[in-house]
Amino acid sequence: MPDIATDASRRTRKRVQTRDHIAATAFALFDAHGYEAVTMEQIAAGADVARGTLYNHFPVKEAVLAHGLHAQLARDLAPLMRTVLAHDSLAGRLAVLLAASAGWWEAHRHYAMPYIRYRFQQARAGHPEDAASDMVSVYAGLIAQAQEQGELDPRQAPARLAHYLHYLYLGALMAWLADADVSLGDELARVIDFFMRGAAAAPAPRAR
């Protein structure tokens, strides 16, 4: 009798490998020719997959971009988390994460606008599953810890607060893209301050 669980695991693994291969090929093309110049047909040809296969995995080019960015984020996060968790406060942890993010975006500014546009399109279309592929899941874990330690108001679900924080983050990226004189690091520092003020735990009532 076929092992259904094994077959399902094999299909999942193959799907992930195919998506990663397509994204890696796409980024090589983006680097060589520029993001805007590369077509989905070129990505399919470069990855040696049928156009139908490409569109089955990624309906639009922005989805390929987002997958590649999230994969790189996952690789970069592992060594960074030790430094992040060395800080006792959520603000300190977020400062490390967002400073690293600012450095990456400053070196890859040309990817920022199509990525942001895609993320907001996904939000409008109601696809929360994409959140697990980026910083939202990391934020949620850090926020839950901060709530347990009394740093943040525990009445809001960590996932909801993480989404609020992420859209503040995307807003900071948009402000940076709109004005060449804006410092992304400064914008992200404002995001942390604004978020911490809004989500902070209420002070304990004074004894009478």
What are 43's two structure tokens? 């990505």
Are the C-beta atoms of residues 188 and 101 closer than 8 Å to each other? yes
List C-alpha distances in Å: 105 to 3, 52, 143, 184.
45, 32, 24, 9
Q: Please, what's the b/e burial string for 116-131 (b: 16 or more CB within 10 A of its CB; e: otherwise)? A: bebbeebbeeeeeebb
Question: Cβ contacts of residue 161 below 8 Å, gap of 6+?
Answer: 139, 140, 143, 152, 199
Q: What does the pLDDT read at residue 43?
A: 98
What are 152's two structure tokens? 């943040």
Residue type, 8: A
Residue with tokens 């990505």: 43
For the chain, 208 residues long, give each residue's pLDDT as a single digit of tens: 556 667 678 888 899 999 999 999 999 999 999 999 999 999 999 999 999 999 999 999 999 999 999 888 888 888 999 999 999 999 999 999 999 999 999 988 999 999 988 888 887 776 655 544 568 889 999 999 999 999 999 999 999 999 999 989 989 999 999 998 999 999 999 999 999 999 998 765 565 5
The whole-angstrom separation of Cα 30 and Cα 196 is 37
Domains, the chain, with CATH or none: 1-59 (1.10.10.60), 61-199 (1.10.357.10)
The reply to whether the predicted model has a pTM over 0.85 is: no
Angle formed by the axes of helices 158-178 and 112-125, to 10°? 140
Angle formed by the axes of helices 135-148 and 158-178, to 10°? 130
